[in-house]
Amino acid sequence: MGIVEEAHNVRVLGSGQQVIVLAHGFGTDQSVWKHLVPHLVDDYRVVMYDNMGAGTTNPEYFDFERYATLEGYAYDLLAILEELRVGSCIFVGHSVSGMVGAMAAITRPDLFTKLVMIGASPRYLNDVDYYGGFEQEDLEQLFDAIRSNYKAWCSGFAPMAVGGDLDSVAVQEFSRTLFNMRPDIALSVAQTIFQSDTRQILHLITVPCHILQSVKDLAVPVVVTEYLHQNLGGESIVEVMSSDGHLPQLSSPDIVIPVLLRHIRYDIAA
């Protein structure tokens, strides 16, 4: 196993010709895909990894400067694909990893046959003629809460993000992976994500994009999916699912897994 693979806890399952890469969002790790993976391993070679900063990675490897922008994560993804000698893949990116995959696909479009995004957003902050869902004041309160008492913040944020009731398995699972992050790293990652703005590069994304979104999501309003659809440089399709919350693959697998499988298996009609 190479250095990059080891650092990101890369796992390769299945033995199909087609490679699928699964990338998780903030506060989770590759375990967020546990309901999806069993449906893929018979037909595909499945690559999973942990983003640097996830609780499962070595905090000593987290470079605060490198990960102050999303580019750092995009370079990691390309390094993983290179180390595994992946010639082309279907990339499934949840939350921030949707945009990370998009950035990697701008640099190396040849490596991606399509991008499947779940709950992705090019910008979380509201702007003139753009609704991202948050005001700067909201974000400052969020960052202050992480700073002042990380454990308490995790306990409050997890049920809101998942959208389930407090006792649900999905909420407990997200609380666990969120709390596993080192607090200073979690704050840095949250700041990088919530202050990011990738709207100006959307036209450069020429790889086909499948945009999937929960009908109700604390982090990403449904209108954001339409913004992505209108501004991407290549073909795209939007599907709003009847799921609730920002981690629907964990909280509503019965709704989301069939949708995901359909978008993985079938290409967009032009």
Active site residues: 95, 217, 246
Taking 3-state DSSP, the helix, strand and coil percentages for the chain, each rounded to the nearest 5, stand at: 45, 20, 35
* Contact assessment for residue 103 and residue 71, using Cβ atoms and an 8 Å cutoff: yes
Reference 247, options 16, 27, 66, 81; nearest CA is: 27
SS3 29: coil
* Contact assessment for residue 250 and residue 32, using Cβ atoms and an 8 Å cutoff: yes
* Torsion sign across C-alpha atoms 181, 213, 199, 207: positive
β-sheet bridge partners, residue 210: 116, 237
- Please give the angle made by the CA atoms of 97, 206 and 21, to the nearest 5 degrees: 35
Determine how β-strand 45-49 pairs with β-strand 19-23: parallel
Q: How far apart are the C-alpha atoms of 77 and 79, rounded to whole Å?
A: 5
* Contact assessment for residue 97 and residue 174, using Cβ atoms and an 8 Å cutoff: no
**Alpha helix segments (H runs only) across 180-238:** 183-194, 223-231
